[in-house]
Chains A and B, each alone.
Chain A
């Protein structure tokens, strides 16, 4: 009996459960309630199975792989789950578990409006796709499952298709993700051409024959291709529009884990399949990471759509992950293995952390949106009184993403900082400056992220309601609250057990061939994590405990001293005018100072239109409208020129289509002669 419970069987079982969930909910689509329960319960069971399959591999590391021969040439359904894959399967199924629990009551709002069966189908297929992406070991098979993941997520993005904006966002996502896939396919074709194999393992063994030039081209292609999925600036333009369009728990999955598949492939290709990375690969990744994180948080500050704000924060956090990864590649190319492990552990740790707190925040946002029916933060306010529990969980998520100790976000940023500091201390002058600037960008990112979440939490939950809808808001259902509570607890638990978690992650990194015989540059015990050269150390449990103890002492002493004092409830001081919601600061107003300061980068726009009472005698205004926005420089400076160029080339190419049959025969003749000539040579 127990022989059957090997990781690989359980893994297969998880895939089958998800597929059952997918097709079952499609069959049961006539009844919304049943379709919802069927789809999500199978998603939950599948996630539990995938968790149990990945945990043993993650901790003790029996790699499992199997392949199913198929009748198609070159394609074999081959999986290979090593520790790295197991880690990503773990993260995906962990988040999938909580989003599926959340979905059980969240989906109720779609009953009778949308097709719940289709939602369950694409959702489960999406999960299957993601898990297979991080475990596929054949190039063509990988492209197929990558496409399954992309397409199913596209259908999830346009699920609420009665709103035109969502369909438009979906189209942008569709185009961008396929552009990315085109680059990936090119990179893989080059890999195949250089080595003659389609299997990642075989490619790895034969990569030695590839010239550096080919490898560099593959790097660029793969960087653009997977970078598009990960949402690196400037390939990010689909992300802020696609993530908000999807149902919130799907946004949580997309932001929390789907974009991480890009990170997984970065690690798989640049550090496993194509070893011997030159120095500049790491430097490029580091620079893109630093820019993405700083620009991501700045754009997040300009947003007043709560889900777009969170989507921009995903770009920021992908930037932070890339800083760890890029630093690791640089160290590795300089043969400083201990530091390379430090950087990669930082990247993986932040991957895990970001998955947890970002999905928590998206779920919180989803609950708020379904209670108030708007995504516009200017229309919220005071929700903490109507949805106290959601507010509390959202606050925990905000603190974790702002890297405040003792939550988990702080620890992974601490590790990333240490890897950057080590680079500043240990490297040559030219590379050192990249590390200094990256550390500086991370420092400013941390501060601005805290500001952005003060803005988000304050505008959504604090002060007085700015809209009637808010006053009718009620706390979300029981399953959303359970999964938010669990994720909120996880941010604290992972923060508390940072040492053991870092140990497991350094096991994952050690499992990669190149790091087999290296020690990490840090030590970790249950109490502390520190660098072996005594440069720095941190104790996450101690931070939590000392904050709790200090709080308790302060509270009891102050309460004792002031035990006879009364507390009176009064109105907020308003300078004697009538107090209304327009006196509160808006999210736009909150961030306006920062936008003005960074106007060189953000290019804010302001349009004022005034209507006068008398057009000839322009003294008395009737109305004045001010529209604030941020100029999309990527659209106008990057994508628009490319688009215009392609149109122009197509116009030229169109000329050969004369419509004259004789001309076409001439073309055929020319091509035939050319081919004959080539064959003869």
Chain B
């Protein structure tokens, strides 16, 4: 039984992440009065580019060639070590808060290096912007999750999910503040509005897309898939750490099926939220972003001061 659970835990993020991207795109299309592509289109895209030949720049070094494998692997490890449908894996030694944040930084580090490697003007500026945003997000991201860690008396993500779900409703108001801070960090880390536009290739605005401009074929597929994984990981963290109700506290089959259903509904709601946000606000100017990120940090500081 636990072996099956482990496999599910390991596979669920890479398996569902393209779907979450597809759902967001579909909702955005509806907002724009388009029918939009099927929600399964991202799977077909991945399959298609995975089977294409590749063009690699003559200036690229091994970093450019190696980075997609590493970035993808890191997201798979992260996906396996966060609470998805059950909180029983509290013995998982990788699901420490700081390990998670620094593993995310690991992926970003190599993505930014790969962006600089080919020596195009786009890649370099993409890396610079990405690292600026990532560096300033780290405080807000860490402290918003730390607020939860203090109310759950542990930095283990599974334990947090388990304890927060049993807290009385009254004690949750600071957690909502922390959730606000987390949402800002989520949008910044997953390259969404108002930080980045996932649908543009306009050189003045792009961050994430600028770094991966030179990729093609299987490496592009890996990078795109990793980005989708990261998006789903952040959604799952938001859903299961801040609103852990419905998560299974046992290995009972019915509990787990129920928890899976609840998880999907929560992810759907968060996808809807992101899509609505992207359809209703404009992208910020780059130098306005730090204000937003510092807001995230200060919100989580307030949350922490209310909790401890």
Interface of A toward B, CB cutoff 8 Å: 381-382, 384-385, 391, 395, 399, 402-405, 410, 414, 417, 421, 424-425, 432, 436, 439-440, 443-444, 446-448, 450-451, 453-455, 457-459, 461-464, 527-528, 533-539, 542-543, 546-547, 550-551, 553-555, 558, 561-562, 565-574, 579, 581, 583-585, 589-594, 596-597
Contacts and interface: CB of A to CB of B under 8 A. Distances in A.
A555 B73 CA distance: 9
Q: Nearest 7 pairs between A and B by C-beta?
A: A585-B124, A463-B119, A447-B135, A447-B138, A458-B116, A550-B73, A539-B93
Contacts of A555: 69
Contacts of B103: 405, 543
B77 A462 contact: no
A565 B53 contact: yes
Interface stretch (B192-200, B211-219, B241-249, B258-266): B211-219
Interface string B78-120: 0000000000000001101111001101101100110011111
Given A535-B154, A584-B124, A451 B132 contact: yes
A535 B55 CA distance: 48
A547 B77 contact: yes
A146 B154 CA distance: 45
Contacts of B120: 572-574, 583-584
A550 B105 contact: no
A594 B119 CA distance: 21
Interface string B265-278: 00000000000000
A590 B121 CA distance: 11
A306 B308 CA distance: 43
B56 A457 contact: no
Q: Which of B50, B143, B155 has the most CB of A within 10 A?
A: B155
Contact of B51 (A453, A562, A569): A562
A255 B72 CA distance: 36
Interface string B222-238: 10000000000000000
A446 B112 CA distance: 16
Contact of B131 (A414, A454, A462): A454
Contact of A596 (B50, B217, B287): B287
Contact of B213 (A450, A568, A573, A585): A573
Q: Which of B99, B119, B142 has the most CB of A within 10 A?
A: B119
B116 A554 contact: no
A572 B57 contact: yes
13 contacts: A391-B61, A458-B112, A533-B153, A536-B154, A539-B93, A542-B94, A554-B73, A561-B50, A567-B55, A568-B55, A584-B120, A593-B286, A594-B132
A561 B218 contact: yes
Contact of B146 (A405, A421, A581): A421
Contacts of A440: 139, 143, 297, 301
A538 B132 contact: no
Given A463-B119, A538-B98, A554-B73, A585 B127 contact: yes
| Chain A interface SS verdict (over half) | helix
Contacts of A581: 119
Given A447-B105, A536-B156, A558 B59 contact: no
Nearest to B120: A572
Nearest to A433: B305
Nearest to B155: A536
Q: Which of A395, A440, A569 has the most CB of B within 10 A?
A: A440
Q: Which of A451, A542, A570 has the most CB of B within 10 A?
A: A451
B179 interface: no
A414 B139 contact: no
Given A424-B150, A590-B124, A462 B132 contact: no
Given A440-B297, A447-B105, A547 B73 contact: yes
Contacts of B146: 421, 439
B198 to A, nearest CB: 20
Contacts of A574: 120
Contact of A568 (B56, B99, B129, B136): B56
A391 B286 CA distance: 32
A458 to B, nearest CB: 4
B73 to A, nearest CB: 4
A537 B69 contact: no
B182 interface: no
Given A593-B128, A597-B132, A558 B218 contact: yes
A444 B61 contact: no
B105 A450 contact: yes
Nearest to B121: A583
Contacts of A402: 105, 109
Nearest to B217: A565
Given A424-B308, A536-B96, A569-B58, 4 more contacts: A450-B105, A547-B77, A554-B72, A572-B59
A409 to B, nearest CB: 10
B239 interface: no
A535 B218 contact: no
A383 to B, nearest CB: 10
A562 B218 contact: yes
Nearest to B142: A443
Contact of A551 (B50, B69, B308): B69
A439 B155 CA distance: 15
Nearest to A568: B55
B39 interface: no
Nearest to A451: B131
Contacts of B61: 384-385, 391, 461-462
Contacts of A391: 61
B137 interface: yes
B102 A405 contact: yes
Contact of B73 (A405, A421, A539, A551): A551
Interface string B22-40: 0000000000000000000
Contact of A535 (B99, B125, B155): B155
Contacts of A444: 135-136, 138-139
Contacts of A461: 61
A443 B58 contact: no
A404 B132 contact: no
Nearest to B300: A440
B63 A462 contact: yes
B76 interface: yes
Q: Which of B70, B93, B308 has the most CB of A within 10 A?
A: B93
B295 to A, nearest CB: 14
B139 A583 contact: no
B287 A597 contact: yes
Nearest to B286: A593
Q: Which of B105, B159, B213 has the most CB of A within 10 A?
A: B105
